[in-house]
Amino acid sequence: MYNAVAEPQRRRILALLRTGQKAASEIADALALAPSPTSKHLRVLRQVGLVSVREDGRHRHYTLNAQPLREVHAWTGGFEQFWSENFDRLEAYVEELGHLEDDHATD
């Protein structure tokens, strides 16, 4: 699962599918990818259960199954406090630098 969503193109596919079912050709066009790499990405997403496929003649239509992403969300959510604290420290440091520049400008 984590390897599947680590790839940027696959995350873009998942984002596209948030708005509803899409044909493989629509996905390829939206990402400006050739059909072969698009199919490869969709196959990986299907294997981990993030998308389902419905065949309609020669066309394949993909739908997002976000349920497996709960595990990823729960894990990454644990880092929210870490990032928040780091950004707060960074903001304080940048403010401090600004004050030092102001002090030097008035000297």
Span 22-65, pLDDT tens digits: 999 999 999 999 999 999 999 999 999 999 999 989 899 999 99
Tell me the per-residue pLDDT of 10-29, one tens digit each, with 9 for 90 and over. 999 999 999 999 999 999 99
pLDDT for 104 equals 66
Pairing mode, strands 51-56 and 59-64 = antiparallel
Residue 23 to residue 56: CA distance in whole angstroms: 10
Check: pTM over 0.85? Answer yes or no.
Answer: no
- Pick from 6, 54, 59: nearest CA to 28: 59
Q: Which residues pair with 23 in a beta bridge?
A: 61
